[in-house]
C-alpha cells in the first residue's frame, strides 16, 4: 500500500509538461527541423504555459532556444533577446504575444510562427511586424498554426470579417447607420456561433 501511495504521489508531482507533445508542437518541431541551419524563428503564443511546454519539447529535441515573457524582469528579457540575436546556436525565440508584440526588433529571424490565433488580427500583425523591420534583409515566412474543428477556425473567420470591415471603412469612408447596424448584427451572430 505504501508503494502504491508513493507511486501516486510521484505521478501527481510529475510536471504536466511531460505529456506527449500536441500535434501543433510536433508540427512546429518538424518545421524547425527542416529550416536551413543558419535561419532563426520567432514563435508567438498568447499562452505562457504553452510556451513552457514548447520549451520542454525543444529542449528534449536538442533545439537551442530562449524564452521572452512578461513575467521576466527587464534584464532577463534583454539577455534573452541578446542571446537570440547574437547566439549562433540559438535558433528559436519563444515569445508571448503581449510581451513581445510591440517595441522590439527581431530582424535576425526570418521565420515567424503564430501558434494560436488572437481575437484581434491587428495584435498578430503587430507581432509579425517585429520581424518585418528596417534592417530585415531576407524574405520572411509567416506560418499560422490553427487546429481544425476547433474555436480557432472560428476566430480565423472573425479575423477575415474584421479585415473586411476595416477595408470597407477605408474604401467607403464612414459607414452609414444601416450598414453599421447590419455589421453589428453580423458580429453578434458570430459571437453566438462561437459560444454554441
Mean pLDDT by 10 residues, the chain (196 residues): 42 51 92 95 94 96 95 94 95 90 83 85 80 81 79 63 59 60 70 66
User: CB–CB of 115/50 below 8 Å?
Assistant: yes
pLDDT of residue 32: 97
pLDDT of residue 55: 97
DSSP alpha helices (H): ranges in 38-176?
A: 48-60, 74-86, 97-100, 121-128, 151-172
pLDDT of residue 125: 80
CA distance 111 to 118: 19
pLDDT of residue 3: 43
Residues in Cβ contact with 169 at an 8 Å cutoff, skipping those fewer than 6 apart: 175
pLDDT of residue 171: 60
Instruction: Give how far Cα 51 sits from Cα of 43, 48, 116, 126, 170, Å.
Output: 9, 5, 11, 19, 36
pTM: 0.70
Q: Positive or negative CA dihedral for 47, 91, 104, 166? A: negative
Amino acid at each position: 500500500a505504501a508503494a502504491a501511495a508513493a507511486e501516486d504521489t510521484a505521478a501527481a508531482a510529475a510536471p504536466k509538461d511531460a505529456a506527449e507533445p500536441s500535434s501543433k508542437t510536433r508540427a512546429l518541431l518538424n518545421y524547425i527541423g527542416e529550416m536551413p541551419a543558419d535561419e532563426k524563428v520567432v514563435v508567438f503564443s498568447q499562452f505562457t504555459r504553452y510556451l513552457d511546454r514548447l520549451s520542454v519539447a525543444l529542449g528534449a529535441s536538442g533545439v537551442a532556444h530562449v524564452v521572452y515573457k512578461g513575467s521576466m524582469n527587464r534584464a532577463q528579457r534583454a539577455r534573452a533577446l541578446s542571446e537570440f540575436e547574437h547566439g549562433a546556436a540559438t535558433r528559436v525565440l519563444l515569445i508571448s504575444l503581449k510581451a513581445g508584440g510591440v517595441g522590439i526588433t527581431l530582424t535576425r529571424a526570418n521565420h515567424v510562427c503564430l501558434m494560436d490565433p488572437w481575437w484581434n488580427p491587428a495584435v498578430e500583425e503587430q507581432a509579425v511586424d517585429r520581424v518585418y523591420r528596417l534592417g530585415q534583409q531576407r524574405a520572411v515566412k509567416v506560418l499560422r498554426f490553427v487546429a481544425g474543428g476547433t474555436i480557432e477556425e472560428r476566430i480565423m473567420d472573425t479575423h477575415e470579417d474584421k479585415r473586411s470591415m476595416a477595408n470597407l471603412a477605408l474604401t467607403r469612408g464612414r459607414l452609414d447607420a444601416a450598414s453599421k447596424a447590419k455589421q453589428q448584427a453580423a458580429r453578434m451572430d458570430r459571437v453566438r456561433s462561437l459560444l454554441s
